[in-house]
């Protein structure tokens, strides 16, 4: 009985993944993936500059983020 439940769960995961990958052909999902990946990179992996919490951030990153968010809102 547990084997059947594990099989169905595994197949459901595979089918859901296939469906999501197939959706990437549509621009809105592809743009969402790119923006999400950039956000993830920006938040976790980008090189840190400055002296900690008191450092002044450059406005360039904020301008890019606002521009991308505005584009996404307009496309919806």
**What is residue 58's predicted lDDT score, i.e. its pLDDT?**
62
Which value, to the nearest 10 degrees, does the dihedral of the CA atoms of residues 25, 29, 31, 37 take? -110
**What is residue 73's predicted lDDT score, i.e. its pLDDT?**
82
Cβ atoms 73, 25 nearer than 8 A: no
CA distance 27 to 13: 23
**What is residue 61's predicted lDDT score, i.e. its pLDDT?**
72
Q: Is the pTM of this model over 0.95?
A: no
How confident is the prediction along the chain (76 residues), in pLDDT tens digits per residue? 899 999 999 999 999 999 999 998 998 999 888 988 888 888 777 776 655 554 555 667 778 878 888 887 877 6
């Amino acid at each position: 009985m547990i084997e059947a439940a594990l099989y169905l769960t595994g197949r459901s995961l595979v089918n859901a993944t296939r469906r999501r990958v197939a959706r990437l052909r549509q621009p809105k999902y592809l743009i969402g993936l790119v923006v999400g990946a950039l956000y993830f990179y920006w938040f976790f992996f980008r090189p840190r500059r400055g002296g900690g919490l008191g450092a002044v951030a450059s406005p360039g990153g904020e301008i890019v983020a606002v521009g991308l968010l505005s584009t996404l809102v307009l496309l919806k």
